[in-house]
Amino acid sequence: MTIRIAVIVAAGWGTRFLPITKSQPKEMLPLDSKPVIQYSVEEAIASGIEQIIIVTAMGKRAIEDYFDRSFELESFLERKRETRLLKEVRQVSALADICSVRQKEQSGLGHAILTTRNIIGDQPFAVLLPDDVIKSNVPALKQLMAVHEQYKTSVVAIERIKLQDSTRYGVIKPKKVAEGVYQVLSIKEKPQPAKAPSNLGVVGRYILTPEIFAALEVTPPGKNQEIQLTDALQLLLAKQAIHACEFHGIRYDAGTPLGWLEATVALALKNPALGAELKEYLQKLL
């Protein structure tokens, strides 16, 4: 079945960016010339997704407003004859068919995905975590969709990690089935390095079969007393296979202050309008 719907989870508190995230969603922090969340939206569209569900929470109204029409602003830009800016503003609101649901309590990624059940129904769907900005020739999500098309299973994105960083990831026990593709034998949420089953960590792209909802319903609270998607995937393994895709591309972790800064510099250096001057400035600093 073709993947038509993508869920973008943007419901966290953003505590690592406090105090700014007290009033500003971290997903709306600027990254080069657009907010962080827009990279996920554009990746989903480039992968052939038809509808996007954004899971938000209290205080995240700015995300919904950003992807909506702003008639007053458009009228102002028309009067000022700011044709280029007007085109850019209208393009944002026309990016995709977007709706939003609210996660009414901070109960983890698994719980956030569960809030979309009534909209998604009985079909496979994609999940993107906007903290992970992935730049690649073929969209990372599209690479996962190709694996799903072949095996008809849930698919998780993976990359090689340092074992000392295993406490930041879900980590899989893999069985290689093709180049860059693995069957997941087990998956652990944030294991200690000595107990990590491999150096393949799960990052923020997933294709999930609808059976994940039944697994999430019975998943007990795990790390931080939250319903973890990783734990639900481990339960799902008892009923169906799961595969992992080692995608081709560069991932930037925009979910931490240092990662966001690194992503900002890396992407700005590739921006034709900024790159040369920024490079010169950075060389002066060094």
Report the CATH number at residue 220. 3.90.550.10
pLDDT band at 33 (very low <50, low <70, confident <90, very high): confident
> What is the total count of domains within the chain?
1
Percent of the chain with pLDDT over 90: 72
For the cut 80, the answer to whether the pLDDT of residue 1 exceeds it is: no
For the cut 80, the answer to whether the pLDDT of residue 82 exceeds it is: yes
For the cut 80, the answer to whether the pLDDT of residue 224 exceeds it is: no
For the cut 80, the answer to whether the pLDDT of residue 21 exceeds it is: yes
For the cut 80, the answer to whether the pLDDT of residue 222 exceeds it is: no
Q: What is the pTM of this model?
A: 0.92
Q: What is the pLDDT of residue 91?
A: 81
Residue 92's domain comprises 5-285
For the cut 80, the answer to whether the pLDDT of residue 272 exceeds it is: yes
pLDDT band at 92 (very low <50, low <70, confident <90, very high): confident
For the cut 80, the answer to whether the pLDDT of residue 244 exceeds it is: yes
> What is the average pLDDT across 206-231?
91
Q: Which pLDDT tens digit goes with each residue over 42-68?
A: 999 999 999 999 999 888 889 988 888
Q: What is the pLDDT of residue 204?
A: 94
Q: What is the pLDDT of residue 39?
A: 95
Instruction: Give the residue from 99, 127, 92, 94 showing the smallest Cα distance to 113.
Output: 127
Q: Which pLDDT tens digit goes with each residue over 138-184?
A: 999 999 999 999 999 999 999 999 999 999 999 999 999 999 999 99
Amino acid at 275: G
> What is the average pLDDT across 228-243?
95
For the cut 90, the answer to whether the pLDDT of residue 126 exceeds it is: yes
Average pLDDT across the chain, whole number: 92
For the cut 80, the answer to whether the pLDDT of residue 32 exceeds it is: yes
